[in-house]
Structure 1
Amino acid sequence: MTGGAVAGPDGRLRCPWGLSTEDYVRYHDEEWGRPVHGDDALFERLCLEAFQSGLSWITILRRREGFRRAFDDFGIAAVAKYTEADKERLLADEGIIRNRAKIEATLANARVLA
Structure 2
Amino acid sequence: MFMGILGYVERLDEVRAIVTRVMDAVPSGSYLVLWDGTDTGTAVKEGSERLTQTGAIPYYLRNLEQLGQCFDGLEMIEPGLVPITYWRLAESEVSTAQHIDVYGA
Larger relative contact order (C-alpha < 8 A, sep ≥ 6)?
A: 2
TM bucket normalised to smaller: under 0.3
TM-score of the superposed pair, with normalisation by structure 1: 0.25
Higher strand share: 2
